[in-house]
Homo-oligomer: A and B are copies of this chain.
Amino acid sequence: MQLLLNKIEDNSLTVGIVGLGYVGLPLAVSFASAGVNVIGFDNSSAKVAKINTGENYISDISAELWQEALTRKTISATTDFTRLSGCQAILICVPTPLDQFHKPNMSFIESACMVIGKNMKKGTFVCLESTTYPTTTEHFVLPILEKESGLRHGSGFWLAFSPERVDPGNKSWFTRNTPKVLGALNEEGLTIGKAIYTLAVDHIYTVSSPRVAEMVKILENTYRLVNISLINEMALLCGKMDIDIWEVIEAAKTKPYGFQAFYPGPGIGGHCIPLDPFYLEYIAKKFNFDLSMINTAGHINMMMPHRMTLKISSALNRYKKSINGSNILFLGVAYKPDIDDERESPALRIIDEVAQKGGNIHYHDPFVATIETIQGRKFNSDPLTAGLISIADCVVITTNHSAFDIPWILGNAQLVVDLRNAVKDASEKVYKL
């Protein structure tokens, strides 16, 4: 342990980061910008090449921070995982998606652990950052590392869990200033982990075990899933009761305690909220436990894209039109405003359903040039012109990118279905969620 702490002290530590996505690369940069040696590992030679030629592909990393990391020359990337043997700290930032049956896909963690186990030297600190079900670190990662390395935890290496808290597009909170939760398998691991992470993150909050740390992240995201689902359900009811849900939320926000506002929308998206709670549901089954809140919330959100299609159909019906044969223009396919990520975006599901019903699909998103829907339909973003808007029988605002000039869109549109409260003063031709 002292050896590792000394290496931190004299800055001869090398941190290996496995997985160079929206979590791994910002973390690598946070270390590198502080002058810590970082090697990034990824199977994508494209990503690796970009990093090594100084190209930043994660929009959340500020230009200054990226420049600082480049200037320090302490960051490099490789597809050669044998170089993990030169790292004293290895942080795992690989994806944990769901398969199409909503079951955890642990294959990325599994293969990362196998290659780490095969290559790591005695005395390495390993930490998982990927969101996963509680007990993963102890019951899934630990056995693989011990088996592949032939080392024993405690004497041969240390293992911990520290959930990533990346919020894409958040301008105020980034890797360094977002407090980081850390739980390790033993006290030594916790001490080492805290010393290492302190190089990249200002505040480390330690907890008693990896499973507590795992549950923390799941709780944070389950809270969001449940509240988004609640407000979506309330929005649907408000629609029937002739109540403007957006006005209700603004008024409720004047309560100075005990309320946090969530906003309705066409469904949940991204790589966290739609997925993480189902990791918990998966492990809960093992404990013979039914998570009814997650179940119900999941159900509501699963239905949202379909209900949004019905809204489009209702709106067209006003004008004696059907989806079948109409031109439908979708504005925004990213899952939230001003980001370039359309993963799990509800827009893709709505587009599939509208296409299936015979709608002619057009879309525009300043951040997403091409899409492939869940059912495999491919589209290119059309340039947003007055002509494009005016030929659309219905314009659907699926993402409220701040670049959208709403009055101009409204001026040119025949009919707008606004799923994001982008249009503040509703007129006759606007159909709101």
A300 at the interface (CB under 8 A from B): yes
The A interface is mostly helix, strand or loop, or mixed, namely helix
What is the interface size of chain A, counting residues whose CB is below 8 A from a CB of the partner?
Answer: 64
A240 at the interface (CB under 8 A from B): yes
Footprint of B on A, CB under 8 Å? 134-135, 165, 167, 170, 172-173, 178-179, 181, 203, 205, 207-209, 211-213, 215-216, 219-220, 222-224, 226-227, 229-230, 233-234, 236-238, 240-244, 247-249, 251-252, 254-260, 280, 283-284, 287, 289, 291-293, 295-297, 299-300
Partner of A219, one of B209, B242, B248, B296: B248
Partner of A216, one of B135, B219, B240, B248: B248
Compute how far the CA of A126 lies from the CA of B399 in the bound complex, rounded to whole angstroms.
42
Contacts of A211 in B (CB 8 A): 241-243
Does the CB pair A292–B287 fall under 8 Å?
no
A288 to chain B minimum Cβ distance, whole angstroms, is 8
Does the CB pair A219–B172 fall under 8 Å?
no
Does the CB pair B293–A220 fall under 8 Å?
no
Partner of A233, one of B207, B247, B291: B291
A74 to chain B minimum Cβ distance, whole angstroms, is 28
Task: With a 10 A CB-CB cut-off, give which of A173, A220, A234, A241 has the most chain B CB atoms.
Answer: A241
Does the CB pair A179–B287 fall under 8 Å?
no
Contacts of A258 in B (CB 8 A): 167, 220, 224
| Sample of 24 A–B contacts (CB below 8 Å) | A170-B257, A173-B256, A178-B255, A181-B254, A203-B254, A205-B251, A208-B247, A212-B243, A212-B244, A212-B248, A215-B243, A215-B248, A223-B230, A223-B252, A226-B230, A226-B293, A230-B293, A233-B292, A233-B293, A237-B280, A237-B287, A237-B291, A240-B289, A292-B300
